[in-house]
A and B are shown apart, each in its own frame.
Chain A
């Protein structure tokens, strides 16, 4: 009897604690949203209360003050780099999982080794290389390094998936006279869509949030992406904080929505790699 009471008390205390953590996680986000709907004056007078009257003007100002451009740039850069990464990564993973070639293990080690090398270390030389190639301050100065630094992980994810499914169908297709490219896009691609989705989401998180390369390799505000754009935005707005808060909210929404809709893929991708940032 006593044991049961003890259990109930623990259960209540633990759940209270877990809900308390929920508040700690959500409160800064909640604060950002409610204050993005106030006037600047109201923010300074009562930063913790709900808005008197909802002011959506901040969102319109933020959008028109350059955020729309950063947003489009981010979509453009993300879309191209994700498409190329998934495509090239899938080809490479397929090549590594389906053929017996001599240097297979060595090549796989070289590809995987890319996971261990952090972008910070290569910053100065990458900057010089991009200058030499006349790519500095173009969108490709972001896109190409993003692809190169995300390929190792993408190959890793897709290779383990390709290895896990049987080769019967492919062998049958080969006997029917399909060449390896036909086998790849007629048989492998259609059944690999879930892993493509996981890979694309992992790349999307990285590209959408990437800051360092965008900061260093691109100078022009006209082509920069949201993370760097937000910084420029902050400096330009000075103390017009409610507009900045609206901008922050807009910048957060795509990933938050993607996360809520596709949680399964997020978790699968993130936990199968255990690579942070």
Chain B
């Protein structure tokens, strides 16, 4: 009898302890650090109140980063959620033979399991001016005048990185939609068939409303992802040229480990935290049971 009282805690305790020490405490501590001026190797901290936050809101690079993260979010919403949904509907439609479905699905999904670092390195080659795939393609179709040093120009750098993310993740979001579409009861479509509905009508008036919840969930995870993005930018441009492609987390990294302003970096962390946690609560609200 006694064993049944203690045993459950023995099972749960190690996990709980690890999560509290290495996930919760650092985040709480991060709030605390954001009120100090501190550097990486010394233990001396100077209390500075809200001055880190004041400096952030007067910092031009911070606003560039926020704009870039927002661009990331908006473009990803249109491409990953929008095109992801369209692709899922096409693949589940009668236009595609069942055997080909599996083939398309696997190919589209594949980029999302390759590491971001590898994808970013490959896309450096896509965007390289002289031998790159993109400029080569533009030349081949007679649009060579639109060639750019995609990652080397302030106007194109962030968009080139965002485009790469679409290449990597459209298939992932598509897969989530396919799962949702497959859960729609068949008889709804049969009833529509009897009423003489066209394929387009069925897509617009059955499929899209039926996957509404998944649309909201994928939208939220896409936006959260866009505000957390780090490796893509770090590997391809490190935020350059001239901070033009800086995002919040690369700026956090630069502040902490290159400029050695750890308090300032913590304050950026708090801002990322507030943005992502708000979005997470929206996601939980949408998916209620946490089952999606």
Contact = CB atoms under 8 A, between A and B. Distances in A.
A183 B113 CA distance: 36
Contact of B175 (A125, A226, A271): A271
A92 B131 contact: no
A219 B229 CA distance: 22
A30 to B, nearest CB: 10
A175 interface: no
A25 B110 contact: yes
Interface stretch (B55-63, B117-125, B146-154, B204-212): B117-125
Contacts of A156: 290
Nearest to B131: A47
Contact of A127 (B24, B40, B121, B125): B40
B46 interface: no
A18 B90 contact: yes
- Which interface class (under 10, 10 to 19, 20 to 34, 35 or more) fits B? 35 or more
A260 B89 CA distance: 24
A117 B272 CA distance: 10
A122 B115 contact: no
Interface residues of A, number: 96
Contacts, number: 265
Nearest to A251: B118
Contact of B23 (A11, A29, A148): A148
A180 B19 contact: no
A211 B22 contact: no
B30 A121 contact: yes
A54 interface: no
A231 interface: yes
B89 to A, nearest CB: 11
B249 interface: yes
Contact of B111 (A11, A25, A124, A251): A25
A89 to B, nearest CB: 7
Contacts of A179: 3, 7
B193 interface: no
B71 interface: no
A215 B256 CA distance: 13
B225 A144 contact: no
Contact of A95 (B12, B22, B27, B224): B12
B4 A255 contact: no
Contacts of B19: 110-111, 114, 148, 151-152
Interface of B: 3-4, 7-12, 14-16, 18-27, 29-30, 33, 40, 87, 90-91, 93, 95-96, 100, 104, 106-118, 121-123, 125-126, 130-131, 133, 136, 167, 169, 171-172, 175-176, 179, 217-218, 221-222, 224-225, 228, 230-231, 234-235, 248-249, 252-253, 256-257, 262, 265-266, 269-270, 272-273, 276-277, 280, 290-292
Given A160-B291, A180-B3, 13 more contacts: A18-B90, A28-B123, A116-B277, A122-B26, A123-B269, A124-B269, A126-B22, A127-B256, A144-B22, A241-B125, A252-B118, A267-B179, A276-B169
